[in-house]
Chains A and B, each alone.
Chain A
Amino acid sequence: NAGVTQTPKFQVLKTGQSMTLQCAQDMNHEYMSWYRQDPGMGLRLIHYSVGAGITDQGEVPNGYNVSRSTTEDFPLRLLSAAPSQTSVYFCASSYRSVAGYNEQFFGPGTRLTVL
């Protein structure tokens, strides 16, 4: 199993450009999420999905869109990049058991710089 994969690893954008960060998992997990990590701020949840066709906002959703058309993929779209979106982005997946959700499996991250 590849686990959680993210592409690209690095990206530089100009202000106003749009792009999509890709995330895929091969563990058949129903739950997927996107976080951003900034120095001194920790991991902050952007959007999450509890299954195909279902998405919801996290703590910092503004400027980002998501969709979940398949169990495997959960892309994150930046509509019009801003310097404040310079960050490291992590995608994660998890599964639900009778006791609730379990550990999250994280991807390697995408380091995004917006000039």
Chain B
Amino acid sequence: SQKIEQNSEALNIQEGKTATLTCNYTNYSPAYLQWYRQDPGRGPVFLLLIRENEKEKRKERLKVTFDTTLKQSLFHITASQPADSATYLCALDNQAGTALIFGKGTTLSVSS
């Protein structure tokens, strides 16, 4: 079955640095990959979607890469701010393309 791993449960960085979060997957080839942000007590909020034929996508200070050979996605936040502190979830479509499978998330803490 599909397996998704996010590199760590927690990541602590200083304000202004670039945060890099990793999402690895095994056992299948998803058509797309998504990243979400979740704040405590709230539902996840969509950030970026990247399809299998795209290598990189950017949105303001966010950048996502998708390496289908390595079966890995990297999520970067440049010039990080304390307001970026949250849990970030990666998600991939299932093989039927009918559902999203989520990783367990990485909690990012940005200190000033």
Contact = CB atoms under 8 A, between A and B. Distances in A.
Interface of A: 4, 31, 33, 35, 40-45, 48, 50, 56, 58-59, 90, 92, 99-109
A65 to B, nearest CB: 18
Interface residues of B, number: 23
B87 to A, nearest CB: 10
B104 interface: yes
Interface of B: 31-32, 34, 41-46, 49, 51, 89, 91, 93, 97-105
Contact of A100 (B31, B43, B44, B91): B31
A100 B93 contact: yes
A48 B89 contact: no
Given A41-B104, A42-B89, A58 B99 contact: yes
Nearest to B44: A106
A107 B43 contact: yes
Nearest to A111: B41
A30 B101 CA distance: 18
A48 B98 CA distance: 8
Residue among A35, A56, A103 having the largest count of chain B Cβ atoms under 10 Å: A103
Given A48-B99, A50-B98, A102-B49, A42 B104 contact: yes
Contacts of A101: 93, 97-98, 100
Given A48-B98, A101-B100, A108-B42, 5 more contacts: A50-B98, A90-B44, A100-B93, A104-B34, A109-B43
B74 to A, nearest CB: 19
Nearest to B35: A103
A99 B51 contact: yes
A42 B43 contact: no
Given A99-B51, A100-B31, A100-B32, A43 B98 contact: no
A104 B89 contact: no
Contacts of B97: 100-101
B99 A43 contact: no
